[in-house]
Amino acid sequence: MAFALTNLLQTLRIGSLGINKSDASDAMLVEKAKAKIDLQLAVPEITLEEVAHHDSFDDCWIVIYDRVYDVTHFLREHPGGDDVIMDHAGRDATIAFHGTGHSRHAVEQMRQFLIGELPPDQCIFRTGQNKVLSSGIPD
């Protein structure tokens, strides 16, 4: 299903380059397809208390912008070193992550480690007036 939707998105992108198609209707279809893909990426809620249990080199979760990432297998490959991530193992690493000024590539790479999101009452970046506004951070 995801494969089919990806194909659809690619087809529409090519179509909207100008071959007799309404850009507006293309855009609408793309938005609908994206929404379906987003639904498929839905992840479970994980509390900060649960995250705190995963604070070791062999089992390392971190929170970035209210989302939970299992970076256990990424630690050794991290271009910035394993120690800087281990400093935040089992905890919120948002400020450190953002302060380092990670590239768009890093933000994209992060998606593959996503395992959950904080419950709404523990979110501090994506709730109420505090919606994340930084460019490059996943929607």
Which residues in this chain contact ligand HEM in the complex, by CB under 6 A? Answer: 62, 69, 71, 78-80, 84-85, 88, 93, 96-97, 100, 102-103, 105-106, 109-110, 113
Contact in structure between 85 and 75 (CB atoms under 8 Å):
yes
Of 29 and 67, which CB lies nearer to ligand HEM in the complex structure?
Answer: 67
Q: Minimal distance in Å, beta carbon 56 to ligand HEM?
A: 16
Q: Quick check: 51 and 91 in contact, CB under 8 A?
A: yes
- 3-class DSSP assignment, residue 118: coil
CB of 80 or CB of 138, closer to ligand HEM? 80
Q: How far is the CB of 64 from ligand HEM (least distance, A)?
A: 6
Q: How many Å apart are CA 89 and CA 111, to the nearest integer?
A: 18
Question: What CA–CA distance (Å, rounded) separates 84 from 16?
Answer: 44
Comparison of 69 and 125: residue with beta carbon closer to ligand HEM: 69
Kindly state the smallest distance separating residue 38's Cβ from ligand HEM, in Å. Answer: 20
- How far apart are the C-alpha atoms of 88 and 105, rounded to whole Å? 21
**For ligand HEM, which is the closer residue by CB, 33 or 115?**
115
Would you give the distance in Å from CA 26 to the centre of its chain? 25
Q: CB of 6: closest distance to ligand HEM in angstroms?
A: 22
β-sheet bridge partners, residue 116: 68
